[in-house]
Chains A and B, each alone.
Chain A
Amino acid sequence: MSAGSLTILVIDENRIRASIIEAGLRDAGHRHVTVVHDVAGIARRIAELEPDVIVIDLENPNRDMLENMFQLSRAVKRPIAMFVDRSDQASIEAAVDAGVSAYVVDGLKKERIKPILDMAISRFNAFSRMARELEEARSELESRKVVDRAKGILMKSRGLSEEAAYALLRKTAMNQNRKIAEIAQSLVTAAGLLGPLEGE
C-alpha cells in the first residue's frame, strides 16, 4: 500500500498550523487528508471519514473528550489507540515537546505511522519557531519605539544630541544591569507622570 491510501484527520484549532501540517502530509503523498478546527460534531465526522490516523494538537482542551470517544463511542467502528510504543520513548517525548499527538486505528503498522508523526513533530516545531520569531520581532519593534521616545524626552529636557541621549540611556542601562528598553520605558513612564515634558 502506498502512503496515499491512509485516511488522515488533523484536528487543530490553529488554522495556520493546521494548513502547514496538511501541506506536509500532501507533500508526502497523502491524498486523503481532512482538517477540522472545531470539535463540534466531531463524532459524526469521524464516523463518516473512518480515519486511520488522527493528529491533534496537545493544547486542544477537548483531548479528554476525544480520547473517551475513541475508546467508547459507537461513532468509532474500529478502536483507536494513542500512538504509543514503550520502546520508542524518544518519539513520545519529541511529540509532547512539540505539542502534538497522534491516534491510530488498531493494527496499523508502526512503520506506516512513524513518518506521519515525525513530519507533524517537525512542522509543529517549525510553527512554534516561527511564532516565537514573530513575537520577538514584534517586541523588538516595540522596544525601538520606546527608545526613540525616551531619546526625544532627553533631547528636549536636557538639550542633548540624539547620539548623546542614546549614550546616556545605554550607560544607565549598563550601570543598573538592565536593558536599554527597560530604562527607556521607565523614563517614558516617569515623564508621563511628571507632566508635559514631552510637549504634548
Chain B
Amino acid sequence: MSTTAAHQVTAGFMPLFDSAVLVAAGEMGFAAREGIALKLHRETSWANIRDRIAIGHFDVAHMLGPMPLACSLGLTPLASETIVPFSLGLGGNCVTVSNAIWEGMAAHGAVPDLDPARAGAALGALIRERTAAGREPLRFAVVHPHSGHNYELRYWLAACGIDPDRDIEIVIVPPPFMTDALAAGRIDGYCVGEPWNSAAVAAGTGRIVTVKALLWRNSPEKVIGARRAWAEENPETLAALLRALHHSARWCQNPANRSELAALMARPDFLGQPEAIQMPILTGQLQLGAGEARNIEDFFLPFDKAANFPWKSHALWFYTQMVRWGQLPHTPQNLAIARDCYRPDLYRSALKPLGVALPGANAKVEGALKVATPVGSAGASLVLGPDGFFDGQIFDPDRIDAYIAGQKRA
C-alpha cells in the first residue's frame, strides 16, 4: 500500500484537454512514484486560478502560456510573481467559424484545406463586403486576453490584412460555452483549444477553418505556472514534480495510451465530455465539418519536440504580442521581467538526473527550422521543429526591438 508522500502539491486546472499531462501525473501514479501527493482542483475560470495561486491555495496550476507573464508584469489584479518551470505541450487549438460565415468565406475562395493564408484572404474579402454593405462587424471569441488563442488569432488576422481591433470585435467567452455561443449566433467564430472545436463540428454548428499547428507550427500553449515564493521555498518538491510531469508527458504522447488517456480525460471530474471527442487532439485527425477531414502533423504534442521545455523565446514572443496589441509598453524593465518568467534552468536541473535529452540553449530563433532537425543536446538525441510561422516571418529573441517595430500598425 501507499506510504506517506514526502511532498504535498496542490494544483489547479481548467477543464481543457491540455491539462492532460498534469491530470495523468496525478491519476496514473507518476506523481506518487516521485513521492508526491498531488491534489488536483478543477476550476471554473482563469481568474480563479490566478487568485488561488496568489493567495496560496494552489502551489502550481495549469495556465495559459502568457498568464504567468501577465501576473508577473502586473497586468492583472492580484498580480503575484509566477514562474514557468515546465510547458504542458505545443499546439492543440483551432479557429472555428459558424456555418453562415463559412459559406461567406467559401464564396470568396475558401476551401476546406485549413490553409491559413487562403482562409484569411477569404475572411478578409467577406469582412470588406460586409463593411461595404454597412453590416455589423463580425464578433470572434477567445478564452482570455492574455492567451495564446488571442495572440494567434490576432497574428493570423493581421497577417491577412484584417485589423483585429478595427475590422472585427474580439470578446471573451469561457471554453465550454463557445459552441453554444456560436450556435446561438452570439459570436461568429472563435479560437479555442480542443475538444471545443470538434464539439462544434460534431454538433453541426461550426466549421474548423485553420489550426494553431499551421499558423505557427510547434508553438507554445499551456504551461505549469508556479508561485515563485513557493518554488523557491520548495526546490526539491518542485524538482520531483517536474520529473513526475516528464514521465506523465511521455506516457501521454505514446499512441498506445491514447484510448486510456481519452477515457481518463472524459471522466466527469475532468472534462465530462464523451471519449470520442477527446480523440482528434490525440490523433491529429480532424473533422472540419460537412464530412471534410484532414490529418494534421504535430497537431498537439504533449512531449515530443521538446514540448515540455520552457523556452524563453516562447515567453518573449508572447511579450512582443502584449506590446503589439497595447496591453503594456515595451520598456527595459518589462522586458527583463518577461525574460525571467520562464525558467529552463529549473527544468534542466530537475531532469538532468534522468539522463534525458535536454536542449542546450534557453531560447531559439522561432520560425527558423523549415524541417524537423536533430539538435545537439546534453544526453540523448533530440529533434526540434519544424517551427515556421505561416507567413514566413522569423522571431529572433535577440532582435526584439526590430520585431516589435516591424509589427507596429501603420
Q: Is A141 part of the binding interface, using a Cβ–Cβ cutoff of 8 Å?
A: no
A84 CB-CB contact with B under 8 Å:
yes
> Does any Cβ of A come within 8 Å of B207's Cβ?
no
Cα A84 to Cα B177 in complex, Å, equals: 28
Write the chain A residue with the least CB distance to B54. Answer: A92
Q: Which A21-70 residues have C-beta < 8 A from chain B?
A: 58-65, 67-69
Main secondary structure, interface of A, reads: helix
What's the Cα separation between A84 and B77 when bound, in Å?
A: 7
| Chain B residues whose C-beta falls within 8 Å of the C-beta of A101 in the assembled complex | 51
Closest to B177 in A: A61
Using known A-B contacts A61-B44, A61-B45, A63-B47, determine if residue A93 contacts B55 with beta carbons closer than 8 Å.
Answer: yes
Contact B172 A81 (CB under 8 A): no
**What residue in chain A is nearest B48 (Cβ atoms)?**
A58
A67 CB contacts on chain B under 8 angstroms: 47, 76-77
Give the distance in Å from the alpha carbon of A133 to the alpha carbon of B293 in the complex.
52
Closest approach, in angstroms, between the C-beta of A9 and any C-beta of chain B?
17
| CB atoms of A96 and B46 under 8 A apart | no
- In the bound complex, residues from chain B placing their C-beta under 8 Å from that of A92 are 54-55, 78
B248 to chain A, nearest CB (A): 27
Whether A82 is near chain B, meaning CB under 8 Å from some CB there, is yes
The complex places the Cα of A81 from the Cα of B78 at a distance, in Å, of 10
Evaluate contact between B78 and A64: CB separation under 8 angstroms: no
Is B267 part of the contact surface with A, judged by Cβ < 8 Å?
no
Is B52's CB under 8 angstroms from A68's CB? no
Cα–Cα, bound, A93→B56 (Å)? 9
Interface residues of B in 30-60 (CB under 8 A from A): 44-48, 51-52, 54-55, 57
Contacts of B174 in A (CB 8 A): 61-62, 64-65
Nearest CB of B to A117, in Å: 14
A96 x B176 contact (CB < 8 A):
no
Kindly state the separation between the CA atoms of A59 and B144 in the bound complex, as whole angstroms: 17
Q: Which residues of B contact A68 (CB under 8 A)?
A: 144-145, 171-172
A148: min CB distance to chain B, Å: 31
Q: How far is the CB of A128 from chain B (nearest CB, A)?
A: 16
B129-149 at interface with A (beta carbon < 8 Å): 143-145
Chain A residues with CB under 8 Å of B54's CB are 92
Contact of A60 among B44, B55, B172, B173 (CB under 8 A): B44
Contact (Cβ within 8 A) B172 A65: yes
> Would you list which residues of chain B between 150 and 183 have a CB under 8 Å from chain A?
171-174, 176-177
Residue among B52, B55, B171 making CB contact with A65, cutoff 8 Å? B171
Interface 1/0s, chain B 305-328, versus A by CB < 8 A? 000000000000000000000000
A200 and B258 CA atoms in complex are apart in Å by: 46
Q: Which of A75-103 contact B (CB under 8 A)?
A: 81-82, 84, 89, 92-93, 96, 101
Decide yes or no: A64 and B51 within 8 Å by CB, A81-B77, A82-B77, A84-B77 being known contacts: no
Residue of A nearest to B76 (CB): A67
In the complex, what residues of A have CB within 8 A of residue B57's CB? 96
Closest to A62 in B: B174
- The 8 Å CB contact of B45, one of A63, A69, A71, A72, is A63
Query: When chains A and B are docked, how far (Å) is the Cα of A58 from the Cα of B171?
Result: 20
Interfacial chain B residues near A71, Cβ < 8 Å: 145
Residues of A contacting B172 with CB < 8 Å? Answer: 64-65, 68-69
**Cα–Cα distance between A93 and B314 once the two chains are bound (Å):** 33
Q: Which residues of A contact B55 (CB under 8 A)?
A: 89, 92-93, 96
Given A58-B48, A58-B51: A64 touches B77 (CB 8 Å cut-off): no
Report yes or no: A64 in contact with B47, Cβ–Cβ below 8 A.
yes
Asked if A62 contacts B77 (CB within 8 A), the reply is no
Those 8 A-B pairs whose CB atoms lie nearest each other, nearest first: A82-B77, A63-B45, A63-B47, A65-B172, A68-B172, A61-B44, A61-B174, A93-B55
Task: A64-B47, A67-B76, A68-B171 given; name 18 further pairs at CB < 8 Å.
Answer: A58-B44, A60-B44, A60-B45, A61-B176, A61-B177, A63-B47, A63-B48, A64-B46, A64-B143, A65-B173, A72-B145, A82-B77, A82-B78, A84-B78, A92-B54, A92-B78, A96-B55, A96-B57
Binding site for B on A (CB under 8 A): 58-65, 67-69, 71-72, 81-82, 84, 89, 92-93, 96, 101
Q: List 10 A-B contacts (CB under 8 A).
A: A58-B44, A58-B45, A58-B51, A59-B44, A63-B44, A72-B145, A82-B78, A84-B77, A92-B55, A92-B78
